[in-house]
């Protein structure tokens, strides 16, 4: 088993370190860009009208995990300009496992903007509307699963493999958002954004209990109280004893245009969301703000499959002696265990609707204007994902010359890392506003030598964020007495 699952795990780790997701960048908060309302609906740009078009208006990618980075998976070898991976026999697996936490989180997200529109209403009002394709998820991997993959079950003989913290939640949905912000006094501004959500597909694991006891004879006792919920066109094949034979995606449902349109419409999986925000001017120089974003849920009713397992099952497990004696290969023994586990895993299925909740964020920020065009800012961002909380603190220096030019340099402490540098740049020639923003720029790099070439890879890097694109921007509102000094104009 270690051979097969070791390669599977390293593949997963590579995807984790190069995955795409979309958590809004903290650098964006203090820049004069229409996209900053994604972090606080009370914020607004200085232009009178903006339009975001599909693809052109940009994309946002982010990588985030709390347990490994490139320097953990790839080490410098001998000679010093070579790199060895975690699968290399010279790599000390015990050192790698010592860095793994008891609960290891991966939070993949993707956002693709389809359309955006914002325009001024009255003296201080601002209306904005956007449509986004979104994928977000939360996967928690127990440390025992890593130990099992890399070292096999021999180290668990007479004890239990604890998988009770294993869980997963992944959903793909479409978001329609309509928002409005306005000055209610000459110091206080409120913003609100309502969202209508249409779910396309989802997978969710409800794990009440899960563990494997490895007996002295290498047989296994499997204890489970777990439910896997799916909303997708799946085909589940069961044996006569109700054990799972296979689960495959029913691609026949997507053979024609109407089938694809019906799948991605999400008309039967409806949800709601809400963003709230406010800013307050203590003076012309000092401004504080707060927001809560992505409060919401989706009720999944279409193409629902529920797989449940509850009880105690016995199955034969991995016998290392077969490998030592040469009677079987490690892959053959691993496959025997998989077959035995599948036959022992009794499953009942149903089609009961289920609900998933969006991970929501809380932002607290302050900015101080040193000059008319230059400010410093601090932003605390907390993300709540089920029972987990992810926190970050960003310090930034920001320059806003109207909507002609905007720039920001930041430092972020997040994800157990304290070397996250970020930067943002936006400029507007005519009606075209181009921007690029990144919260986490890799500072140190390793060089992988191969034949006559060399490739640079980040060394200490487990979080990456990049947002870039183009807005169509029109006008530049005139600065009024009660306008916010956070956003300056030409």
What six digits make up the tokens of 16? 């984790």
Q: Which residue has the higher pLDDT, 441 or 64?
A: 441
Q: Diameter of the chain by CA atoms?
A: 85
Query: Is pLDDT larger for residue 11 or for residue 161?
Result: 161
Distances, alpha carbon 163 to alpha carbons 6, 40, 277, 340, 435, in Å: 18, 38, 39, 19, 44
| pLDDT score for 100 | 78
What's the CA gap between 76 and 81, in Å, rounded? 7
Alpha carbon 264 to chain centroid, angstroms:
21
What distance in Å separates the CA atoms of residue 212 and residue 114, rounded to the nearest whole number? 46
pLDDT number for residue 162: 83
> Residue 242: its pLDDT value, please?
74
Q: Do the domain assignments include residue 482?
A: no
Confidence of residue 117 (pLDDT cuts 50, 70, 90): very high
| Per-residue pLDDT, 286 | 94
pLDDT of residue 187: 94
**Residue 211 or 61, more confident:** 211
Does residue 378 fall inside a structural domain?
Answer: yes
Helices 2-17 and 143-151: crossing angle, nearest 10°?
130
Per-residue confidence (pLDDT) for residue 342, from 0 to 100: 62
What is the rounded average pLDDT of the residues 30-53? 90
- Alpha-carbon distances of 3 from 142, 297, 298, rounded to whole Å: 19, 40, 40
CB neighbour class for 122 (10 Å; exposed up to 12, middle 13-18, buried from 19): exposed
Is residue 22 over pLDDT 50?
A: no
Provide, rounded to the nearest whole percent, the portion of the chain with pLDDT above 70. 69
Q: Does 483 reside within a domain?
A: no
pLDDT at 11 exceeding the cut of 60 = no
Domain assignment of residue 120, yes or no: yes
Closest C-alpha among 51, 163, 56, 29 to residue 112: 56
Would you place residue 294 in the very low, low, confident or very high pLDDT band (cuts 50, 70, 90)?
A: very high
Q: Does residue 364 fall inside a structural domain? A: yes
CATH of the domain at 416: 2.40.160
Averaged over 413-424, what is the pLDDT?
A: 74
Predicted confidence (pLDDT) at residue 185 exceeds the cutoff of 90: yes
Query: Is 488 a member of any domain?
Result: no
Better-scored residue on pLDDT, 139 or 23: 139
The predicted pLDDT at position 87 comes to: 59
- Pick the more confident residue, 313 or 132: 132
pLDDT tens digit sequence for 83-115: 655 555 666 677 777 777 788 777 777 788 899
As to burial, measured by CB atoms within 10 angstroms (0-12 exposed, 13-18 middle, 19+ buried), residue 181 is: buried
Has residue 479 got a pLDDT over 80? no
> Considering the chain, what is the average pLDDT of its residues?
77
Per-residue model confidence (pLDDT) at position 72: 61
Question: 241 or 372, which is more confident?
Answer: 372
Domain count, the chain: 1
| Domain interval for residue 254 | 2-474
For residue 210, pLDDT beyond 50: yes
Q: Are strands 160-162 and 125-142 parallel, antiparallel or unpaired?
A: unpaired
> Which of the residue ranges 31-40, 70-79, 469-478 has the most confident prediction, judged by mean pLDDT?
31-40
Q: What is the DSSP string of 98-132?
A: HH--SEEEE--EEEEEEEEEEEEETTTEEEEEEEE
Q: Is the dihedral of CA 66, 63, 297, 261 positive or negative?
A: negative
Q: What is the pLDDT of residues 225-268, one digit of tens each?
A: 888 899 988 887 877 777 777 778 877 767 666 767 777 777 88
On the question of pLDDT at 8 being above 50, the answer is no
Residue 106 located in a structural domain: yes
Backbone angles phi, psi at 3, to 5 degrees: -60, -50
pLDDT at residue 364, rounded to an integer:
95
* Pairwise CA distance, residues 107 & 128, whole Å: 28
Distance CA 227, CA 205 (A): 6
3-class DSSP string for 195-246: EEEEEEEEEEEEEEEEEEEECCCCEEEEEEEEEEEEECCEEEEECCCCEEEE
Min mean pLDDT across 144-153, 155-164, 423-432, 445-454 is at 445-454
Query: Residue 482 has what pLDDT?
Result: 44
Residue 333 lies in a domain: yes
pLDDT of residue 303: 87
């Amino acid at each position: 088993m270690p051979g097969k699952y070791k390669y599977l795990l390293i593949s997963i780790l590579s995807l984790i370190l190069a995955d795409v997701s979309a958590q809004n960048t903290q650098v964006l908060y203090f820049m004069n860009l229409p996209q900053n309302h994604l972090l606080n609906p009370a914020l607004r740009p200085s232009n009178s009208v903006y339009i975001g078009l599909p693809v052109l208006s940009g994309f946002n990618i982010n990588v985030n995990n709390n347990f490994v980075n490139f320097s953990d998976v790839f080490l410098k070898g001998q000679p010093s300009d070579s790199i060895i991976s975690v699968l290399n026999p010279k790599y000390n697996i015990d050192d790698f496992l010592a860095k793994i936490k008891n609960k290891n989180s991966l939070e993949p997200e993707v956002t693709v903007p389809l359309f955006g529109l914002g325009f001024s209403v009255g003296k201080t009002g601002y209306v904005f509307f956007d449509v986004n394709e979104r994928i977000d998820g939360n996967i928690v991997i127990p440390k025992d699963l890593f130990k099992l993959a890399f070292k096999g079950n021999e180290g668990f003989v007479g004890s239990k493999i604890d998988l009770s913290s294993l869980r997963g939640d992944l959903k793909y949905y479409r978001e329609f958002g309509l928002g409005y912000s306005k000055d209610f006094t000459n110091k206080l501004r409120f913003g609100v954004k309502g969202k209508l959500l249409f779910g396309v597909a989802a997978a969710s694991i409800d794990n009440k209990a899960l563990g494997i006891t490895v007996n002295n004879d290498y047989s296994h006792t499997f204890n489970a109280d777990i439910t896997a919920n799916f909303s997708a066109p799946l085909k589940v094949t069961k044996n006569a004893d109700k054990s799972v034979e296979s689960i495959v995606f029913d691609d026949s449902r997507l053979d024609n245009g109407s089938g694809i349109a019906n799948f991605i419409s999400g008309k039967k999986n409806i949800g709601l969301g809400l963003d709230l925000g406010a800013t307050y001017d203590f003076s012309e120089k000092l401004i504080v703000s707060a927001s809560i974003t992505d409060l919401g849920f989706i009720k999944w009713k279409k193409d629902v499959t529920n797989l449940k397992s509850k009880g105690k099952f016995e199955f034969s497990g991995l016998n290392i002696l077969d490998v030592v004696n040469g009677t079987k290969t490690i892959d053959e023994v691993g496959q025997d265990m998989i077959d035995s586990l599948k036959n022992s895993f009794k499953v009942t299925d149903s089609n009961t609707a289920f609900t998933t909740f969006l991970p929501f964020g809380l932002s607290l920020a302050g900015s101080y204007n040193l000059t008319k065009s230059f400010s410093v800012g601090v932003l605390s961002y907390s993300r709540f994902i089920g029972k987990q909380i992810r926190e970050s603190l960003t310090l930034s220096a920001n320059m806003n010359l109207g909507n002609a030019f905007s720039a920001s340099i930041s430092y972020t402490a997040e994800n157990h890392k304290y070397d996250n540098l970020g930067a943002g740049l936006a400029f507007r020639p005519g009606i075209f506003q181009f921007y690029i923003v990144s919260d986490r720029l890799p500072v140190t790099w390793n060089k992988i030598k191969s034949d006559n070439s060399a490739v640079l890879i980040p060394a200490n890097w487990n979080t990456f964020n990049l947002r870039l694109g183009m807005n169509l921007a029109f006008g530049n509102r005139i600065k009024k007495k009660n306008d916010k000094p956070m956003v300056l104009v030409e």
